[in-house]
């Protein structure tokens, strides 16, 4: 029986993960299946418990990343630090929870902007902000500012970033009080929250990392293109983290170019 994989979350129908992974299987001639499965909040443990032995791995998206940590038999140090797992892999010792969002973000940024930066501002304070915050800490940031609509709700994210071995300085401010950013700005907030006032306070910056690949281009990306800043897209992040997942799932290096091309074509068709 072919190995089965999938992406779980709610909502999940919009996910490009099936497109990327299937393109990888086709490129390498791997006999495997990959599907999107809607699993609502609170339902991941029951779903995983009901999987047959042919299921070898899961990509995990919102709102299930913390649930993935709780149900795993083993958990990577990175997933624990990030406070969430986007990857579940079935091993001889049970389910392993890991996080490819962090190294995927590092690879996405480095591909587009292979130079040193010292300042980072993250718009938003949720789970995605924690993963990307750890990624920019990997890149050697001296100061990381978390700008959240409600700074009190960003406490877990700030704690996660501060736990990085490099011990960067991390400050949290209200999104409406964010001043000059500099360096790299990472947006984890919806396009609707990217107001003209906020955008005016963002620039000038070297890099804009927009973690979504929907509603493209967002107002922040449009401004970045006008200002001549380097843009890192949500598709860049999705492809790089998927390549890492692909290797964990199959034991084969993920074919980056084939997976990216498939993702670009799927987005263009929407």
Query: Looking at 21, 22, 65, 240, which residue is catalytic?
Result: 65
Cross-strand bridge partners of residue 98: 87
Catalytic annotation on 65?
A: yes
Measured CA to CA, the distance from residue 146 to residue 84 in angstroms comes to 18
Extract the tokens encoding 118.
Answer: 């010292």
Are 136 and 123 contacting, i.e. CB atoms less than 8 angstroms apart?
A: no
| CA 140 to centroid of chain Cα atoms | 19
Report the sign of the C-alpha dihedral through residues 10, 148, 111, 101, in that order: negative
The Cβ-side half-sphere exposure at 27, using a 13 Å CA radius, reads: 19
DSSP annotation of 151 reads G
- Token pair 């001043």 in the structure block, residue: 179
> How far, in Å, CA of 60 to CA of 18, rounded?
12
Instruction: Name, in order, each residue with C-beta under 8 angstroms of 236's C-beta and a sequence gap of 6 or more.
Output: 108, 111, 112
Question: Residue 204: is it exposed, middle or buried by C-beta count within 10 angstroms (0-12/13-18/19+)?
Answer: exposed
Beta carbons within 8 Å of 144's beta carbon, 6+ residues apart: 120, 121, 122, 133, 136, 137, 161, 168, 169, 170, 171
Token digits for 161? Answer: 């970033």
Please state the φ and ψ torsions of residue 60, each to the nearest 5 degrees. -120, 125
Q: Please give the positions annotated as active site.
A: 65
């Amino acid at each position: 029986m072919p190995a089965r994989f999938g992406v779980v979350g709610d909502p999940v129908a919009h996910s490009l993960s099936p497109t990327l992974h299937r393109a990888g299987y086709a490129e390498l001639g791997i006999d495997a299946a990959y599907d999107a499965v809607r699993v609502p909040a609170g339902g991941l443990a029951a779903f995983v418990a009901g999987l047959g032995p042919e299921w070898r791995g899961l990509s995990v998206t919102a709102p299930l990343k913390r649930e993935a940590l709780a149900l795993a038999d083993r958990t990577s140090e990175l997933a624990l630090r990030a406070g969430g797992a986007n990857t579940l892999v079935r091993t001889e010792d049970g389910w392993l929870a890991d996080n490819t969002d962090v190294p995927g973000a590092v690879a996405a940024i480095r591909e587009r902007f292979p130079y040193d930066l010292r300042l980072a501002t993250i718009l938003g304070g949720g789970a995605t902000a924690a993963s990307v915050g750890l990624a920019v800490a990997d890149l050697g940031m001296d100061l990381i500012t978390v700008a959240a609509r409600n700074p009190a709700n960003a406490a877990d994210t700030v704690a996660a970033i501060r736990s990085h071995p490099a011990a960067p300085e991390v400050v949290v401010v209200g999104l409406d009080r964010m001043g000059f950013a500099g360096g790299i700005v990472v947006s984890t907030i919806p396009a609707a929250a990217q107001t003209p006032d906020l955008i005016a306070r963002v620039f000038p910056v070297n890099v804009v990392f927009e973690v979504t690949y929907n509603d493209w281009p967002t107002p922040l990306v449009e401004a970045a293109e006008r200002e001549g800043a380097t843009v890192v897209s949500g598709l860049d992040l999705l492809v790089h983290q998927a390549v890492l997942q692909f290797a964990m799932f199959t034991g084969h290096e993920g074919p980056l170019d084939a997976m990216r091309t498939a993702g670009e074509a799927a987005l263009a068709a929407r």
